[in-house]
C-alpha cells in the first residue's frame, strides 16, 4: 500500500515538474523576438527620433529593431547586399535606382522636414533672407575672394546628394567646386560636418533636425540662415528589401514595421518628437498630409519632389500589401 502511494506521489511530482517546465518553455518561446535590421541615414539616428520610435514599437511588438546608421548611399549598399531588411533614407533619386534595380519594394513616404543653410552669425556672404540658389551663388563669390568657406559632407549621403543638386541648379559643377580651397570636404556624417563648419566659421547644408539638436546642446554656434523653402524640402521614406532577391531577409517584420510607421501611432511619435525639448517638431508627419491634403502647398511639393510617375511607389515595385496604397 505504501509502495503504491509512493509511486503515485512520484508520478504526481513528475507531472508537476513537467508542467512547470512546459510553462517556462512556452513563455520563453512566445517571448523570443524577431530581429529586424534597418539601415538608416544618420540624420534620423543622430536626432534621437529612432530611439523614440524603437521604444514605442517594441513595447507592442515582439520584434527587436537594430539600426545601422550611415549615409543614404551606404545604407542602400547594405540593403543591396542583403545585409539589411529595410532602409530609412531621404534621397528620392537614389531611392528610385534602388527600386528599379530590383532590391527595393513597397516604398512609403513617412515624414518630411527641411534642410537649412547654416553659417556663422556674422554671415560674411550676406545670405540671410535670400533664396537658396541665390545664397549659394553669393557663397561661391565670397569663397573665391577669400571671405567665406563652405563645408560639405562629401559622403554620398542623402544630404550630400541634395547639396550637389542645389549646386547644379544654381549653375555650378560640384566636382569643380571640390577643387577650390574655400570648399571643404569632410567625408563624414551630419554631426561632424556641423562641428567642422562651426570650427571654420563656414556655411553648410544641414537637415533641420540634426542642426536643432546640436545647436540646442551648445555643440555649435552656427545660425540657421535659410529654411522652410521648397528647394530645401527633405522627405524620408521606408523601403523593404525584396525577399525574392534576398531570401534570408526578414520581409514580414519589415512590412510590420512599415505599417507601424504609417499608422496613426507611428506618425504621432514622429510628429511629436522634439516638441518638448526643442519647442518644435524635428520631423513632420507625411501620411495624413498626403492623404487628406491638409496643407496643399507642401503636399504638392512632396509629390513633385519625392513621387515617381505620380505615386510614392509605382505598381511594378509593390510586393503585396495593396492596402498600403489604397
Structure confidence by residue, pLDDT tens digits, 218-266: 999 999 999 989 999 999 999 999 999 999 999 999 999 999 999 999 9
Q: Is 74 helix (H, G, I), strand (E, B) or coil?
A: helix
Return the pLDDT at 156: 87
User: Which of 325, 295, 294 shows the shortest CA–CA distance to 312?
Assistant: 325
Give the chain's mean pLDDT.
90
User: Which of 312, 323, 326 shows the shortest CA–CA distance to 105?
Assistant: 312
Q: Which CATH architecture has domain 115-231?
A: 3-Layer(aba) Sandwich (3.40)
pLDDT tens across 141-185, in order? 999 999 999 999 999 889 999 999 999 999 999 999 999 999 999
Residues of the chain with CATH 3.40.190.10: 34-113+234-325, 115-231
Q: Is 307 helix (H, G, I), strand (E, B) or coil?
A: coil
Whether residue 30 has pLDDT greater than 90:
no
**Homologous superfamily, domain 34-113+234-325:** Periplasmic binding protein-like II (3.40.190.10)
Taking the model in full, what pTM does it have?
Answer: 0.86
Torsion of CA 196, 200, 204, 209, to 10 degrees: 50
Could you tell me the three cell numbers for 106? 513597397
Whether residue 24 has pLDDT greater than 50:
no
Instruction: Report the distance separating Cα 313 and Cα 278, nearest Å.
Output: 33
Torsion of CA 273, 277, 281, 287, to 10 degrees: 10
For residue 62, how far is the Cα from the chain centroid? 22
pLDDT tens across 67-120, in order? 999 988 999 999 999 999 999 999 999 999 999 999 999 999 999 999 999 999
Return the pLDDT at 171: 97
Amino acid at each position: 500500500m505504501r509502495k503504491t502511494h509512493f509511486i503515485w506521489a512520484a508520478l504526481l511530482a513528475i507531472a508537476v515538474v513537467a508542467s512547470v517546465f512546459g510553462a517556462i518553455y512556452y513563455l520563453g518561446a512566445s517571448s523570443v523576438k524577431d530581429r529586424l535590421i534597418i539601415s538608416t541615414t544618420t540624420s534620423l539616428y543622430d536626432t534621437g527620433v529612432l530611439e523614440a520610435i524603437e521604444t514605442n514599437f517594441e513595447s507592442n511588438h515582439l520584434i527587436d529593431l537594430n539600426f545601422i546608421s550611415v549615409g543614404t548611399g551606404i545604407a542602400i549598399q547594405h540593403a543591396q547586399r542583403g545585409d539589411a531588411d529595410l532602409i530609412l533614407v531621404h534621397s528620392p533619386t537614389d531611392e528610385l535606382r534602388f527600386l528599379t534595380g530590383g532590391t527595393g519594394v513597397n516604398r512609403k513616404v513617412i515624414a518630411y522636414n527641411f534642410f537649412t543653410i547654416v553659417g556663422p552669425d556674422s554671415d560674411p556672404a550676406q545670405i540671410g533672407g535670400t533664396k537658396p540658389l541665390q545664397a549659394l551663388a553669393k557663397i561661391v563669390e565670397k569663397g573665391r575672394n577669400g571671405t567665406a568657406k563652405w563645408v560639405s559632407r562629401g559622403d554620398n549621403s542623402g544630404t550630400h546628394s541634395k547639396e550637389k543638386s542645389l549646386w547644379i541648379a544654381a549653375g555650378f559643377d560640384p566636382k569643380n567646386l571640390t577643387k577650390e580651397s574655400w570648399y571643404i570636404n569632410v567625408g563624414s556624417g551630419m554631426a561632424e560636418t556641423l562641428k567642422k563648419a562651426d570650427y571654420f566659421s563656414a556655411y553648410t547644408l544641414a537637415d533641420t533636425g540634426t542642426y536643432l539638436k546640436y545647436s540646442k546642446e551648445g555643440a555649435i554656434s552656427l545660425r540657421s540662415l535659410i529654411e522652410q523653402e521648397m528647394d530645401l524640402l527633405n522627405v524620408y521614406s521606408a523601403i523593404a528589401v525584396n525577399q525574392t532577391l534576398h531570401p534570408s531577409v526578414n520581409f514580414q517584420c519589415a512590412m510590420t514595421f512599415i505599417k507601424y510607421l504609417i499608422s496613426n501611432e507611428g506618425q504621432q511619435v514622429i510628429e511629436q518628437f522634439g516638441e518638448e525639448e526643442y519647442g518644435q517638431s524635428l520631423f513632420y508627419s507625411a501620411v495624413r498630409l498626403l492623404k487628406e491634403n491638409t496643407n496643399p502647398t507642401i503636399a504638392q511639393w512632396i509629390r513633385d519632389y519625392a513621387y515617381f510617375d505620380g505615386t510614392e511607389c509605382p505598381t511594378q515595385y509593390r510586393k503585396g500589401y495593396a492596402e498600403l496604397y489604397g
